[in-house]
Amino acid sequence: MIVAKDGKPLFSQAYGMADREKKIPNQLGTQFRIGSMNKMFTAVAVLQLVQAGKIKLSDPLGKYLPDYANKDVAAKVTIHQLLTHTGGTGDFFGPEFDTHRLELRTLQDYVKLYEKRAPAFEPGSRWEYSNYGFLLLGVVVEKVSGQSYYDYVREHVYKPAGMNSTDSLPESEAVPSRSIGYTKEDGSTEWKPNTDTLPWRGTSAGGGYSTVEDLLRFANALQNHKLLDAEHTDLLVTGKVDTPRGKYAYGFQDSTEGGVRCFGHGGGAPGMNGDLMICPASGYVIAVLANLDPPAAQRVSEFIGGRLPAP
């Protein structure tokens, strides 16, 4: 975990084990799977292409994916709705994902499996968290940029931010500093590796890995306008729709507690949990990652966040 003020760490410490069998401890440079925190990087990528005039937020998905099978989704769901989870595009986790988990190797593989599905509700009518919506945004980035999603975020998000330990390489590739995730979510009383639950590789919806130091670099790059200009940074992180936990912006949660506004995103799945909180008025950033079930990291970030001095 890291707590920073005005871009510089005030407190940083690692706890627990990265590999229990080999007795390898977690360190500040340990790479943890970050679940849905990838959505922040995907949203930055989309807004970069908006800033460049290559994507319009009001455009329907079908403008960028003209061959998309469900014409209702293609015609009605906008980029804005995908970014705010208001398009009705649903999830991709469930029985079908479990059956095809290791066959889903590209973003297009997910599209082939789910593109015939109708919207879960009238696009724009309400908020419902949608992993598949952010998967589709990754495909839009690929179509517009001419690069794979993974190459695009490496070049345009991670590199300018100085994030050298963040990526979404396939689980089959060795990543020396990547921790093993441990879960009890199968009803076990003992911590077990989460290997059998993991996708083949992370996607634009989540599942990559990072370090707390890289997340601080990302927060600093965002606030120093190394990724987007001031106008598009504000557009990215300013809440648009109400959710059970504050407002949702574009790939960022935007909430105010105790008079302090913070934005960021969490991520959680069996054996992984993380949270990034960026509080611009007070200058604080909190980044916490854990290789345990939720809410291991979010409990820590919320505890710290509730005790930071107000600006």
pLDDT of residue 185: 87
d(CA 239, CA 247): 5
Burial of 5 (0-12, 13-18, 19+ CB in 10 A): middle
The answer for residues whose C-beta is within 8 angstroms of residue 87's C-beta and 6 or more apart is 61, 73, 77, 78, 81, 119, 123, 124, 130, 133
What are the residue boundaries of the structural domains of the chain, listed by start?
Answer: 2-305
CB 273 within 8 A of CB 34: no
pTM: 0.97
Mean pLDDT of 287-295: 98
Angle between helices 131-145 and 38-51 (to 10 degrees): 40
Exposed / middle / buried, residue 250 (Cβ in 10 Å: 0-12, 13-18, 19+): buried
**Is the confidence at residue 50, as pLDDT, over 90?**
yes
- DSSP character for 206? B
Query: How sure is the predictor about 258, in pLDDT bands with cuts at 50, 70 and 90?
Result: confident
pLDDT tens profile 102-114: 999 999 999 999 9
Of the chain, the percentage scoring pLDDT greater than 90 comes to 95
Contact by Cβ (8 Å): 311, 27: no
- As a whole number, the mean pLDDT across the chain is 96
Name the CATH topology of 2-305. Answer: Beta-lactamase (3.40.710)
259: number of CA atoms within 13 Å, CB side? 6
CA geometry: angle at 272 spanning 269 and 278, to 5°?
100
Q: What is the pLDDT of residues 153-199, one digit of tens each?
A: 999 999 999 999 999 999 999 999 999 999 998 888 999 999 999 99
- C-alpha span between 140 and 87 (Å, rounded): 15
